[in-house]
Amino acid sequence: MSSATTSLAPPSHTARAAPVFWEPNGARFGERLVAIILVHFEKPELVAPLSYIAFSDTQLRALVGKERARSASGILEHASSFCHQQLLTGVPLTEVIPPFEGFSVGESVRVRGYSTTQVMDTAIRTLSAFGTRNYYEEVAELEGRNSLPTRAFLKSLQRQFSQRDESRKTRFNKTFALDSTSEMTIDYAHHQHLVQVTSLPISAHHSVTLQKEAESKLFELDIAADIIRQASARARPALLVNTAPLNSDLDAEARGYAESLLQRLTLMSEKKNMVIMPAPSPEAAAEILEGLAA
């Protein structure tokens, strides 16, 4: 009996990952910690860079104490967002500057994998003793492009928009080939219209995930529009924002996070000459798409 041998293809994803060290005042361990991990993809080239906090709220409370954990969490969220924004604007990994004293970017390492999730999981395990796959999965969504609220909103939107014409479903989750090895998915594409969908948060914890989702989708929109325009075709990129949280019974703090992200996305869209389209419900979003289809 002969045995077949299978040669494993080389990893399709390669990235550089760097730790952001933090020296919290009064930390129980009295040492600097890997608080944030930055990832810049080399292959495929057009995967959006990432920045995420390396440990959970429970771990943070163990490090700095319950009383200081809340303010420390806010500091880490701002630092992660600040670093991520620099990566999105093209700042090299080694030149990213954290916003506060006590933070510093360490040496980068190369990580490889067969998917985005695998690369980021390797980065966590390689660089951080505190990082856990369970905490990361909520952000990464196990290879999914969308957060849970955005996924549910998109599903309802597709159903509403296609209920009288099933062929309209093909306009959603359109894949664009970037080169021979990588591709990009746009939530809705029809003629010159390119639409990405995101959601506003209902809490401080969700605001980190959803801000990263929205900024990554703006990054993808910008690339997709450029590719289409280079082919001498028209492109009208837009970000459709699920604003349902603003119509719910949020406390003042949660409402502040939602309003702040909407304002941030509005400014970013304007700078990129993109349209921002707030929608309080899937039904309202379907009406917006109807207007684009007219």
The architecture (CATH level 2) of 148-293 comes to 3-Layer(aba) Sandwich (3.40)
- Spell out the domain ranges in the chain: 13-140, 148-293
For every residue of 175-228, DSSP letters joined together read EEE-SSS-EEEEEEEETTEEEEEEE--SSHHHHHHHHHHHHHHHHHHHHHHHHH
| 105 pLDDT above the threshold of 80 | yes
For the segment 235-265, what is each residue's pLDDT rounded down to a tens digit?
899 999 999 888 876 778 888 888 999 999 9
Check: pTM over 0.75? Answer yes or no.
Answer: no
Instruction: Specify which of 111-115, 119-123, 189-193, 231-235 reaches the highest per-range mean pLDDT.
Output: 189-193
Spatial CA neighbour of 187 closest among 159, 154, 160: 154
More confident residue, 259 or 32: 259
The mean per-residue pLDDT over the stretch 217-222 comes to 88
The mean per-residue pLDDT over the stretch 142-170 comes to 82
| 166 pLDDT above the threshold of 60 | yes
More confident residue, 12 or 264: 264
